[in-house]
Chain A
């Protein structure tokens, strides 16, 4: 039986747990978008994000027996991805996306999107501390409520709410503050990189 055939999530999970590699591949295909996007928004580098997302699925393969349901699987993937991303951000020097990587991201934007503003927002998101960034990404990418975010990141709900409030205020302030060009909604011209930052070209 092919793993790509329509199949309920429970059946697919059960088959993957019993060692069906095709079923596991289908599970990866179903969740790759979410896991990769979380990793990308946290690490901001496509190659690092792919590497981290693959590590998460490898860990999932080894821990399949502990996954109880499809819902638990989604929760498990989000939790492991965010914790690994935060660990990596704390451990390794930060990478800034290159103009080439930005161009590739822009190519995938929706037609009605404002790519310049979205790029600016993503840039501002990089300025947030790893834990605050994780909260914002889970809230606005995965559409989780504060209680779910708290469970995922193992932090108190009040801390999540506090991170959200502070991060939104910080983002709003940065967006409305007049930049060097005098227009708050326009991206600022490139600034020299602080020491410790590396650009991937």
Chain B
């Protein structure tokens, strides 16, 4: 028997031993039940994922609503301040107009010619 034949026989023996050592074995009795339970727990639409998704949706909605309310309040305050400014401007113009009228009246009275009746009585 040549050296190669001996080596081939050794290889075949080792391969047989490996096949025997790696014979498939069964898992525990509850294996299929465990798989089905995990499948049921992970199925889409089940309580846990749905709850998680709902909570996430509500959180997003609440955040978006808070931002919108904050923007509306800021806008409302801006409008209010603009209106107050316009009202103050209107009141100032009105006051200036009244003052102008009064001054105009006073000016006319001062610059008016003396009354003839007053001159006659003095002569």
Interface residues of A (CB under 8 A from B): 21, 24-25, 28-29, 32-34, 36-37, 40-41, 46, 49-50, 53-54, 57-58, 61-62, 105, 108, 110, 113-114, 117-119, 121-122, 125, 136-137, 140-141, 143, 168, 171-172, 175
Contacts and interface: CB of A to CB of B under 8 A. Distances in A.
A28 B36 CA distance: 9
Secondary structure dominating the interface of B: helix
Contact of B27 (A53, A110, A172): A53
Contact of A141 (B22, B32, B34, B38): B22
A28 B32 contact: yes
Contact of A137 (B14, B22, B35, B42): B22
A25 B32 contact: yes
Interface of B: 10-11, 14-15, 17-28, 31-32, 34-36, 38-39, 42
A125 B25 CA distance: 17
A28 B15 CA distance: 29
A117 B17 contact: yes
B30 to A, nearest CB: 9
Contacts of B32: 25, 28-29, 32
25 contacts: A21-B39, A25-B35, A25-B36, A28-B32, A34-B24, A37-B25, A50-B31, A53-B27, A57-B38, A57-B39, A58-B42, A108-B25, A108-B26, A117-B21, A118-B17, A121-B18, A122-B22, A125-B22, A136-B18, A140-B18, A140-B19, A168-B15, A171-B18, A172-B10, A172-B11
A137 B19 CA distance: 9
Contacts, number: 99
Contacts of A34: 24
A62 B19 CA distance: 33
A141 B20 CA distance: 9
Given A32-B26, A32-B31, A168 B11 contact: yes
Nearest to B23: A110
B35 A33 contact: no
A137 B17 CA distance: 13
Contacts of A108: 25-26
A172 B31 contact: no
Contacts of B28: 46, 50
A118 B11 CA distance: 16
Given A21-B39, A32-B26, A54 B34 contact: yes
Nearest to A105: B25
A118 B14 contact: no
